[in-house]
Structure 1
Amino acid sequence: MITFDKLKTNEVKTLKISKQIVLDLNSNQLTTFVGPQDQHLSAIQKRYHVDYFLRSNVLEIEGEKSEVMEAIKKIEKMIQSIRNNESLTSKDILEILHHPTTAIKKHVPITYTFGGKHIYPKTNGQEELVRAMKKHDMVFSVGPAGTGKTFLAVAYAVSLLRDNKIKRIILTRPAVEAGENLGFLPGDLKEKVDPYLQPLYDALNILLGVESVEKMLEKKTIEIAPLAYMRGRTLDDAFIILDEAQNTTDAQMKMFLSRMGYNSKMIINGDITQIDLPFNQQSGLLIALDLLSDMEEIAIVKLQFSDIVRHPLVSKILKRYEKRRKQ
């Protein structure tokens, strides 16, 4: 990508910059970059209050210098995304425009979806989490909702399963409800908890496809079950993910951590701002973080609000709730 700078001054003497970018993209990639009816470029224009002019493969961005430079950084990330995945959706644009810009790196994909799209970490915190999962057999991943804790853990588990480095994936969570009562739901414990495990099913379906997931569940290559079903087991050759770990008791967390067998990895995900336990019961996650924080064999990754990859409003809303919680 080649850039050329030109300076302009308007009537009120505000310094503006016009930056030209030669887009090194083929015709299909250029169409993806621009978006239907210039939607992607219009999103940049709206976000940074800049003007754009596209002539063939030369894009000119004009506006206040700081805004133009930020827009250029986002354009570079858009180009990187297209080269990595050959796609760029409205959701991708939102994530790129509303997240802090990190250095452009040539990432190795974690794995790929059922549709063939490569999965990459999208923030610095997510990169740290992926590195920790590769290096350590036990990882605590702590952070607010929407930071990708569950999806990244499932994606890395799927990558190991595809490479025959593990024999099965086990996903579990405690049977604690967010202000709801499981006792009034029909069925046994697993049937009661299954709806709360839907995020895990969703991630697997995206990565493997619904039919493959159903077959793997039948063969027990993938197992999704309440935490209570883990008692008394030794889990060898497995990738085990504990979700919603903030809702474990001390005894449950100890039980879970001691299930780890040979050639296995454990990922413990939790959000300490969303503890649904009774007020007189301390979270097993908080206790474990305190007890195990100095063990070199265990990684603890703390994701931040800046790592949230949902709609940008989610981060702002959660920050308000967190501020109130600390008052």
Structure 2
Amino acid sequence: MSETRETQKTHAKVVIPDEHAMISILGSRDELLRVIEKSFRADIHVRGNEITITGSPDESGVVVRLFEELVELARSGAQLTPDAVERSISMLRQSNGRPAEVLSLDIISSRGRTIRPKTVNQKNYVDMIDKHTIVFGIGPAGTGKTYLAMAKAVKALQEKRVNRIILTRPAVEAGERLGFLPGTLYEKIDPYLRPLYDALHDMIDPDSIPRLMAAGTIEVAPLAYMRGRTLNDAFIILDEAQNTSPEQMKMFLTRLGFNSKIVVTGDVTQVDLPGGTQSGLKVVQDILDGINDIHFSRLTSADVVRHKLVGQIVDAYGRYDAALASDPRANGTNRPRGRR
């Protein structure tokens, strides 16, 4: 039977109508074509503006759909890269959404670059931020949870749908050592807020950030500074939420005011709280599940947009943790703690 399947081949042809699109799809020195050829067990021949695919019906069908999606992406102005092609192939193989819809969704354009989701889960996460008042983005490091939320916040501010952006994180990692760090309180907590500043600099003219912060349009502060406040007309992001206690999470969520939106991001596998302290992000999933206008978006290692090895590292640690959990001899004392 296997030999019969191998001899069953179909021939398909794709005609690229635009010469410039052809150049974009094949890539400089055919680098994108080589990525496609390595990903499929099909013969792909290019002649002029025609691409001929010979292979099994399933493989040929996926290759044809891939080129059709790449044509749409090129027409939309999206930059085709080896990473974009690989992600497109993955979506089509898993029948998990259309690459042209995912990779061409512009959130904001700033300083010569456009921020877009790169996976189906990322696009769904961004869509849910539009549709719900409170969204939780839960997933491993590198999945774009905070970065995409901040892009949505900046866009909301630019479109005057909110009057200010509030970015906050718990400074739990410092613990009791905070008092031993040199400098003022702001200088002590700055290292824990620095990733938020870095993302802001990617999206807003750096020269305008001090002015916006002085005016209160953008606020970056530790979570403890949220207590007792009501936050109206704001886009509020709580980052590293796995390091909140259940009481802190409740305190933060109840700051929600009128015409505001909250996005909470975190990774429940990277909890830095003292031993025995529950993570507010873990608990809140059971407490708020099913409440209207609150959504939980879950991202996985497949949504990691850093180096390919990051996704493999996340999976490897997941297998390691699962093995320890199933081993009754494992007491957890030698387990490495996840860090971003």
Category of TM-score, reference length = shorter chain: 0.7 to 0.9
- The question of whether the paired residues in 2 share the 8 Å contact of 1:33 and 1:88 is answered with yes
Deviation string 1:265-312 (CA, Å, 9 cap, x unpaired) is 111111111111112100011222221113213222222333333333
- Out of 3, 9, 23, the residue aligned to residue 16 of structure 1 is 9
Note the C-alpha offset of 1:11: 12
Q: Quick one: distance in 2 between partners of 1:237 and 1:312?
A: 39
CA shift in 2, pair 1:187/1:97, >3 Å? farther
| 1:209 partner letter | D
In the alignment, is residue 74 of structure 1 matched against residue 66 of structure 2?
A: yes
In the alignment, is residue 261 of structure 1 matched against residue 253 of structure 2?
A: no
- The question of whether the paired residues in 2 share the 8 Å contact of 1:74 and 1:101 is answered with no
1:236 is matched with 232
Greater mean alpha carbon deviation, residues 306-315 or residues 160-169: 306-315
TM-score calculated relative to the size of structure 1: 0.84
| 1:102 partner letter | N
In the alignment, is residue 307 of structure 1 matched against residue 299 of structure 2?
A: no
CA shift in 2, pair 1:167/1:47, >3 Å? same
Same amino acid, percent of matched pairs:
43
> How many residue pairs were aligned?
317
3-state DSSP of counterpart to 2:110 = coil
Note the C-alpha offset of 1:218: 3.5
Note the C-alpha offset of 1:157: 1.1
Note the C-alpha offset of 1:254: 1.8
- The question of whether the paired residues in 1 share the 8 Å contact of 2:14 and 2:67 is answered with no
2:338 is matched with none
1:137 is matched with 133
Note the C-alpha offset of 1:186: 3.2
3-state DSSP of counterpart to 1:113 = strand
- The question of whether the paired residues in 1 share the 8 Å contact of 2:163 and 2:234 is answered with yes
Q: Quick one: distance in 2 between partners of 1:179 and 1:11?
A: 66
Q: Quick one: distance in 2 between partners of 1:83 and 1:192?
A: 49
- Out of 35, 45, 48, the residue aligned to residue 27 of structure 2 is 35
Which stretches in structure 1 are left out of the alignment for 5+ residues? 1-9
Greater mean alpha carbon deviation, residues 31-40 or residues 166-175: 31-40
CA shift in 2, pair 1:18/1:195, >3 Å? farther
Q: CA RMSD in A?
A: 3.0
1:5 is matched with none
Q: Quick one: distance in 2 between partners of 1:98 and 1:187?
A: 49
Q: Quick one: distance in 2 between partners of 1:219 and 1:148?
A: 28
In the alignment, is residue 274 of structure 1 matched against residue 266 of structure 2?
A: no
- The question of whether the paired residues in 2 share the 8 Å contact of 1:84 and 1:118 is answered with no
| 2:273 partner letter | L
Q: Quick one: distance in 2 between partners of 1:174 and 1:311?
A: 27
Note the C-alpha offset of 1:165: 0.6
Greater mean alpha carbon deviation, residues 146-155 or residues 124-133: 124-133
3-state DSSP of counterpart to 2:44 = strand
* Equivalent runs, 1:1-327 vs 2, <5 Å: 14-27=7-20, 29-99=21-91, 100-104=94-98, 106=101, 109-115=105-111, 117-177=113-173, 185-327=181-323
- The question of whether the paired residues in 1 share the 8 Å contact of 2:73 and 2:80 is answered with yes
TM-score calculated relative to the size of structure 2: 0.81
CA shift in 2, pair 1:30/1:195, >3 Å? farther
Q: Quick one: distance in 2 between partners of 1:80 and 1:313?
A: 29
Greater mean alpha carbon deviation, residues 240-249 or residues 123-132: 123-132
More helix by share: 2
CA shift in 2, pair 1:114/1:212, >3 Å? farther
